[in-house]
Amino acid sequence: MSTRATIAVRRPDRTYAAVYLHYDGYPEHTGEILMQSYQTQTAAEELVSYGDLRCLNRETGEAERFSDGDPPAKLPTNDSLIDFARNCGARFVYVFDDGAWSYKEL
């Protein structure tokens, strides 16, 4: 069974770019990789820029992407981000904002 998650970046205009993550979305995996490998706005933006993710590789931190995944969702508010995550079946929502990652369990 997969632990789904949503990964989002809050942009300077205060909107969110968000993608679906299918596997290993729990903090001990995805949370650690995000904090180790995607520590800047640029890195976080690049992670979500290509769309939905299958998983993050624990060894390299690299994203494995779906060949037919959806592009990142553009969301205007935190409430719309939470709705997006719930509609994806996400258990966790990770947000890069103001230079740091945070997460919330749904």
pLDDT at 2: 85
How far is 61 from 65, CA to CA, in rounded Å? 13
Number of domains in the chain: 1
Q: Which pLDDT score is estimated for 1? A: 59
Helices (H), the chain: 32-37, 41-49, 78-87
CB of 33 closer than 8 Å to CB of 56: yes
Residue numbers of the domain that contains 90:
5-105
Predicted TM-score (pTM) of the model is 0.96
- pLDDT per residue as tens, the chain (106 positions): 589 999 999 999 999 999 999 999 999 999 999 999 999 999 999 999 999 999 999 999 999 999 898 999 999 999 999 999 999 999 999 999 999 999 999 9
pLDDT reported for residue 69 = 87
